[in-house]
């Protein structure tokens, strides 16, 4: 942190000053040369007329400057100007391109028009020097605190949107109940800061909303502001990088200042990965971006959580974010927004279907069934496309056929929603059911299941999430063994229910995870009797097979054999558990196939043999960290 403090942003500011000043000087100088002679070319001597005559009076340039206040209108064509004075007198004048002129005319409230017989470029070229001069002087005289990049930042204001046009509330967000619930606390805090302050409760300063595009992150952020009735400021990470070095830093300062002035409020930063990318991932050493990130960190550290500014960041690439952003006091709360599951999709469809005319035979549940992988935005778009199709087809209301056409169009559209074959879906359901069942089997030693889903995310076709009960720093041997079984249970289920010739490559990351854990246990944590309390592989990097240091050939072989053995034992264990509970696992898989997502409670109910309640328990999930077992 000390390093960040020192870095501040001295360097780029100097650089940016010169980057900007030099071209401005050059252009302005050119401008003066090209128009300089006109400036002195004053025509007829001044004739002061106070009586309105039909013949226009001729004004010299200095007259124009002197009497600028009296000028009511001015039409400019090249260097000629004409118009009327306040008293109705018409005038003709020759003008030069003098910065003073514009200011004076503007002060006097004159309405100026530039004759359009000149091409846009001609006109721009003529007025450009003046504009540049104005900008230039304005920048120079803006006081010491500003500096150029700062002023530029205010010149290109970050799109700050305050949401009072139409208030968005949680009613406008459908299908993601548990996420809403999770964010309710923030609404509560914004509404009643005192309550939290009195208790000394620490409220998150930053919440990171992550999830695929179109899952409603922006919508949720707006809704939080709407629910709490506080201003909503939005900026996008991509606004913070520009050609001018130091611009990002200045803009970050600007938005945070604005937010603090308007607290309590929501400050929403979309595409935060554009600023907060892992430093190691940047292709070239992008110093400017790093400065911007540092500034963001400084700002986030700089206000106490009691100021009432809540920063919501959104990204679909959490894995790319610099870990510094995720530390306590920054974006220390993460809410993952999943693609909506079956009932979620139906709810979203219903929300938007109420706004269009839909035939009574359209079954939204059917539509929901056929739209796995669609985001909220896709579903909204689906209804919109269907309405358009209906109009084109001359229907008076949206029919099932319109919906189908729209769906196909969207699936083939730019977002290319993966159309998962029913066979794959079924296999995935059993795979995840395997993970889930074995997890529940070991519920007394491992973390409880948070949820299981067969909605694809990234490359994974489905996943089972666990909820850490507490922040563990170590694992017991029993826990390691259980974890290995859970990891390999997906593949085990595929073998049991589909036969060993139908197994898939889908267990790739399970196997990688299990191998990493087994290797760590055997070579580093001293959990294996055979190998003993020897650190064999000190240079291990994330389970990649590096040469065993400090080990004889013989030990290396023993280590390999031991890892194999642990994994084999775990695999057999998982197969045992599953084959002894075939009926239950099958029930679980079918339920998953039907509903796509099951919460931990629902999984436990199904396993216990109770019919899972149809109504979703909107359990809050207090997670800072979720272990994710990808398929
Ligand atoms: P993101 O910020 O995650 O990319 P947005 O919030 O911009 O997604 O979503 C785009 C639009 O899609 C929203 O304005 C809204 O109209 C619609 N939408 C997305 N998710 C939902 C949802 N859960 N409920 C209702 N509308 C949604
Ligand atoms: Zn798996």
Ligand 1 contact via 269 beta carbon (within 6 Å): no
**Which bound ligand lies closest to the C-alpha atom of 460?**
2
Strand partners, 19: none
**Which bound ligand lies closest to the C-alpha atom of 351?**
1
Query: Which of 214, 232, 346, 415 is the best mutation target for the ligand 1 pocket, counting ligand atoms within 8 Å of the beta carbon and taking the most?
Result: 214
Give the pLDDT score at 94.
75
Domain ranges for the chain: 41-116, 153-337, 342-411, 422-622
Task: Choose among 509, 419, 514: nearest CA to 459.
Answer: 509
Q: Catalytic residue at 432?
A: yes
Ligand 1 contact via 174 beta carbon (within 6 Å): yes
For 100, the token pair is 């003073």
Reported pTM = 0.61
Residue with the smallest CA separation from ligand 1 atom 5 is 216
Give the pLDDT score at 32.
47
Task: Choose among 171, 630, 599, 596: nearest CA to 371.
Answer: 596
181 vs 172: CA distance, rounded Å: 14
Whether 114 contacts 55, CB under 8 Å: no
439 vs 461: CA distance, rounded Å: 19
**Which bound ligand lies closest to the C-alpha atom of 313?**
1
547 vs 539: CA distance, rounded Å: 8
Task: Choose among 196, 417, 225, 446: nearest CA to 307.
Answer: 196
Active-site pick, 212, 290, 432, 602: 432
DSSP label of 433: H
Q: Residue 271's Cα: distance from chain center in Å?
A: 4
Ligand 1 contact via 215 beta carbon (within 6 Å): yes
Give the pLDDT score at 87.
85
CATH 3.30.720.210 assigned to domain 41-116? The reply is yes
CATH of domain 153-337: 3.40.50.300
Whether 53 contacts 91, CB under 8 Å: no
Q: Cβ of 438: how many Cβ atoms within 10 Å?
A: 30
- Tell which phi-psi region holds residue 250, choosing left (phi > 0), alpha (psi between -120 and 50) or beta: alpha
How many whole angstroms from 214 Cα to the centroid of ligand 2? Answer: 26
Q: Which atom of ligand 1 sits closest to the CA of residue 173?
A: 24
Q: Which atom of ligand 1 sits closest to the CA of residue 221?
A: 6
For the chain, which ranges sit under pLDDT 50?
Answer: 1-16, 31-53, 116-118, 143-164, 540-545, 612, 614-631
* Structure-derived torsion over alpha carbons of residues 470, 456, 425, 581, reported in degrees to the nearest 10: -10
Whether 439 contacts 446, CB under 8 Å: yes
Ligand 1 contact via 380 beta carbon (within 6 Å): yes
Task: Choose among 17, 86, 22: nearest CA to 50.
Answer: 86
CATH fold for domain 422-622:
Methane Monooxygenase Hydroxylase; Chain G, domain 1 (1.20.58)
Query: Which of 342, 377, 381 is the best mutation target for the ligand 1 pocket, counting ligand atoms within 8 Å of the beta carbon and taking the most?
Result: 377
CATH of domain 342-411: 1.10.8.60
pLDDT digits (tens, 9 = 90+) for 105-159: 767 777 766 654 445 555 566 666 666 666 655 555 554 444 444 444 444 444 4
Q: Are strands 206-210 and 333-336 parallel, antiparallel or unpaired?
A: parallel
Ligand 1 contact via 315 beta carbon (within 6 Å): no
Give the pLDDT score at 531.
85
Residue with the smallest CA separation from ligand 1 atom 14 is 219
Strand partners, 207: 312, 333
DSSP label of 611: P
Give the pLDDT score at 23.
55
Residue with the smallest CA separation from ligand 1 atom 25 is 173
Ligand 1 contact via 353 beta carbon (within 6 Å): no
Give the pLDDT score at 492.
97
Give the pLDDT score at 269.
94
């Amino acid at each position: 942190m000390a390093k960040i403090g020192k870095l501040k942003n001295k360097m780029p500011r100097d650089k940016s000053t010169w980057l900007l000043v030099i071209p401005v000087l050059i252009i302005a100088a050119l401008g003066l040369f090209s128009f300089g002679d006109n400036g002195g070319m004053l025509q007829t001597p001044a004739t002061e007329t106070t009586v309105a005559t039909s013949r226009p009076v001729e004004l010299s340039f200095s007259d124009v400057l002197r009497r600028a206040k009296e000028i009511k209108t001015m039409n400019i064509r090249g260097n000629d100007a004409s118009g009327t004075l306040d008293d109705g007198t018409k005038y003709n004048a020759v003008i030069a391109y003098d910065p003073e002129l514009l200011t004076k005319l503007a002060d006097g409230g004159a309405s100026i028009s530039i004759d359009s017989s000149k091409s846009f470029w001609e006109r721009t070229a003529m007025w450009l020097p003046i504009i540049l001069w104005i900008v230039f002087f304005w920048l120079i005289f803006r006081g010491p605190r500003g500096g150029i990049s700062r002023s530029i930042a205010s010149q290109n204001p970050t799109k700050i949107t305050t949401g009072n046009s139409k208030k968005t509330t949680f009613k406008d967000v459908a299908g993601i109940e548990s996420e809403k619930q999770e964010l309710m606390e923030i609404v509560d805090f914004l509404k009643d800061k005192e309550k939290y302050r009195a208790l000394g409760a620490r409220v998150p300063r930053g919440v990171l909303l992550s999830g695929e595009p179109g899952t409603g992150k922006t919508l949720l952020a707006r809704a939080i502001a709407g629910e709490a009735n506080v201003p909503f400021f939005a900026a996008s990470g991509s606004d913070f990088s520009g050609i001018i070095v130091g611009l990002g830093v200045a803009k970050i300062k600007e938005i945070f200042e604005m937010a603090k002035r308007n607290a309590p409020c929501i400050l929403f930063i979309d595409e935060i990965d554009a600023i907060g990318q892992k430093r190691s991932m940047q292709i070239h050493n992008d110093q400017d971006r790093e400065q911007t990130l540092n500034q963001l960190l400084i700002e986030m550290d700089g206000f106490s959580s009691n100021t009432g500014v809540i920063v919501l960041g959104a990204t679909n690439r959490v894995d790319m974010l610099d870990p510094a952003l995720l530390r306590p006091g920054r974006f220390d709360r993460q809410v993952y927004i999943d693609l909506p599951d079956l009932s979620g999709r139906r709810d979203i469809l219903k929300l938007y279907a109420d706004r269009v005319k839909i035939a009574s035979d359209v079954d939204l549940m059917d539509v929901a069934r056929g739209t796995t992988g669609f985001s909220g935005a896709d579903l909204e778009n689906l209804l919109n496309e269907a309405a358009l199709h209906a109009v084109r087809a001359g229907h008076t209301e949206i029919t099932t056929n319109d919906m189908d056409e729209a769906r196909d169009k969207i699936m083939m559209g730019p977002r290319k929603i993966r159309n998962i074959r029913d066979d794959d879906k079924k296999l995935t359901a059993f795979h995840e059911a395997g993970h889930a069942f074995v997890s529940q089997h070991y519920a007394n030693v491992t973390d409880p299941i948070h949820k299981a889903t067969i909605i694809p995310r990234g490359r994974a076709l489905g996943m089972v999430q666990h909820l850490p009960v507490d922040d563990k720093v170590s694992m017991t041997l029993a826990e390691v063994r259980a974890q290995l079984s859970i990891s390999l249970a997906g593949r085990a289920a595929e073998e049991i229910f589909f036969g060993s010739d139908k197994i898939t490559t889908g267990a790739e990351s399970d196997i990688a995870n299990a191998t990493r854990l087994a290797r760590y246990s055997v070579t580093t944590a001293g959990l294996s009797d055979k190998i003993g309390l020897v650190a064999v592989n000190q240079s291990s990097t994330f389970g990649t097979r590096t040469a065993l240091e400090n080990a004889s050939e013989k030990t290396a072989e023993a280590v390999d054999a031991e890892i194999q053995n642990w994994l084999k034992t775990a695999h057999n264990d998982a197969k045992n558990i599953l084959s002894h509970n075939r009926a239950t696992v099958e029930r679980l898989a079918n339920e998953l196939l039907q509903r796509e997502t099951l919460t931990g409670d629902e999984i436990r109910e199904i396993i216990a043999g109770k019919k899972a309640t149809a109504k979703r328990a909107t359990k809050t999930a207090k997670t800072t960290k979720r272990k994710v077992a990808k398929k």
